[in-house]
Amino acid sequence: MGVTPLPQTRTDRAWLPRRLLVTRSARDFAHGRGIVARAAASGVEIVELAGDRLTLGLPDDPRRAYAEAKATLAVVVAPPSRRRLQPIAPSADWRVDLAEGCPAHCSYCYLAGSLKGPPITRVYANLDEILDGLPVYLGQGTITSRNEARAHEGTTFEASCYTDPLAIEPLTGSLSTAIAWFGRWRADAQLRFTTKFADVTPLLGLDHAGRTRMRASINPRAFTRFEGGTSPVAARLAALGRMAQAGYPVGLTIAPIIAAEGWEAAYAALIEDAAAALAGVPGLDLTVELITHRYSPGSKAVLEGWYPGSALDMGTGNRVTKRTKFGSEKQVYDTATMRALRTFFERRIGEALPAARLLYWT
Ligand code: SF4
């Protein structure tokens, strides 16, 4: 569908949907009712659905349908099939979903390739059931059992695969609940999330016991023209510094790494900014994850439909086709570009952030 891109703005304000849909079953859960109450108190239109089917009522016009979907939060119940965890290498042992979808507008969004249908955000009302289902996965992962550098983290659970949990935290409170739950749980388990948002104030005073690692998902200012509705990069780095000061283990997710003109100077400045934001943190526990830009034919088609005016390069120059172990294809940078990027990042990070542990390059 041909959709004119939304203004590529950065924001420090909490996201508020224009309307909230809540299913009948979601209203049976206190967490679901709490989300509805907070949204209503903020003036959000509340639509109580008679059943459990999400009736979206989106307009036919693709531009308006996209905008309305992105401005909609649905409170639903995660069925047992959704609560069955999937392995999620190389980030973590397991993917745990507190929600699905994200209100921001990034023209490289990886969700375009993973989630189907209109881009509404669904948050799960049965958070307690989701969390209570985690113990069975303890010790079952492959990342921390096979990777010596990460073995001390215990079994790791990634909450940012299908959403940005901090983007919706002011209304949902799901991330705070999960952090506190892991804080009460056991030392050989870790919750992880990565975010392009910056409002960490509600997280600072939680009893996290050092069992949640927050990573800031960052790109140079010059490349944030490919994002919309996210927090400014400087605010994300400042938020990460506050979390580190509050005793959380932290990390940088530099993603997606884009080999556009001027990348070297732009990323050098970004790494310096990150080092400055984390300087002087006592006992800093810092990791770095490096993820190069990639896309599949399916995600490219969706993203070009949502953001036809984006300057993000999804052409064939300096790209090669990589086949995944599941048989699907994705376009990644060619060998020479990958080598130049990797050499640069490993050197620069080693110089500017010598305490950082590099978790993976992909
Ligand atoms: Fe996608 Fe992340 Fe941007 Fe949200 S913040 S639209 S999840 S890339």
DSSP string, 114-128: H--SS--EEEES-HH
Cα 14 to ligand 1 centroid, rounded to whole Å = 15
Smallest CA-to-CA distance from 112 within 237, 3, 275 is with 3
Domain CATH for 326: 3.80.30.30
**If 0-12 CB within 10 Å is exposed, 13-18 middle and 19+ buried, where does residue 145 land?**
middle
Cα 109 to ligand 1 centroid, rounded to whole Å = 5
Q: By alpha-carbon position, which residue is closest to atom 8 of ligand 1?
A: 109
For residue 87, is it within any domain? yes
Strands 121-124 and 99-100: antiparallel
Q: For ligand 1, is residue 164 a contact (CB within 6 Å)?
A: yes
For residue 270, is it within any domain? yes
Strands 45-48 and 72-76: unpaired
Strands 250-257 and 319-323: unpaired
In angstroms, the CA 137 to CA 250 distance is 23
For residue 8, is it within any domain? no
Q: For ligand 1, is residue 159 a contact (CB within 6 Å)?
A: no
Q: For ligand 1, is residue 102 a contact (CB within 6 Å)?
A: yes
Q: Please report, for residues 3, 122, 321, 352, the alpha-carbon distance to residue 337 in angstroms, rounded to integers and kept in the order given.
A: 31, 37, 14, 22
pTM of the model: 0.94
Q: For ligand 1, is residue 196 a contact (CB within 6 Å)?
A: yes
Which residue is it, tokens 């001027």? 262
- HSE-CB for 305 with a 13 A CA cutoff: 19
User: What sign for the dihedral angle of Cα 103, 104, 108, 110?
Assistant: negative
Pocket-testing residue among 66, 98, 106, ligand 1, by greatest number of atoms within 8 A of Cβ? 106
Q: Give the ipTM.
A: 0.99
Distance of CA 234 to the CA centre of its chain: 17
Which atom of ligand 1 approaches the CA of 108 most closely? 8
Q: DSSP letter at 94?
A: E
Pocket-testing residue among 109, 226, 231, ligand 1, by greatest number of atoms within 8 A of Cβ? 109
For residue 11, is it within any domain? no
Q: Which pLDDT belongs to residue 334?
A: 96
Q: For ligand 1, is residue 104 a contact (CB within 6 Å)?
A: yes
* End-to-end Cα distance, the chain: 30
Q: Which pLDDT belongs to residue 3?
A: 39
For residue 200, is it within any domain? yes
Number of domains in the chain: 1
For residue 313, is it within any domain? yes
Domain that holds residue 38: 19-361
* Contact status, residue 286 vs residue 356, Cβ threshold 8 Å: yes
For residue 171, is it within any domain? yes
Smallest CA-to-CA distance from 173 within 134, 202, 215 is with 202
Cα 293 to ligand 1 centroid, rounded to whole Å = 14
Q: For ligand 1, is residue 106 a contact (CB within 6 Å)?
A: yes
For residue 37, is it within any domain? yes
From first to last of its 362 residues, what are the pLDDT tens digits of the chain?
333 333 344 456 789 999 999 999 999 999 999 999 999 999 999 999 999 999 888 999 988 999 999 999 999 999 999 999 999 999 999 999 999 999 999 999 989 888 888 999 999 999 999 999 999 999 988 887 777 778 889 999 999 999 999 999 999 999 999 999 999 999 999 999 999 999 999 999 999 999 999 999 999 998 988 999 999 999 999 999 999 999 999 999 999 999 999 999 999 999 999 999 999 999 999 999 999 999 999 999 999 989 988 989 898 889 999 998 778 899 999 999 999 999 999 999 999 999 999 999 99
Cα 122 to ligand 1 centroid, rounded to whole Å = 14
Which atom of ligand 1 approaches the CA of 111 most closely? 1
User: What sign for the dihedral angle of Cα 51, 45, 37, 172?
Assistant: positive
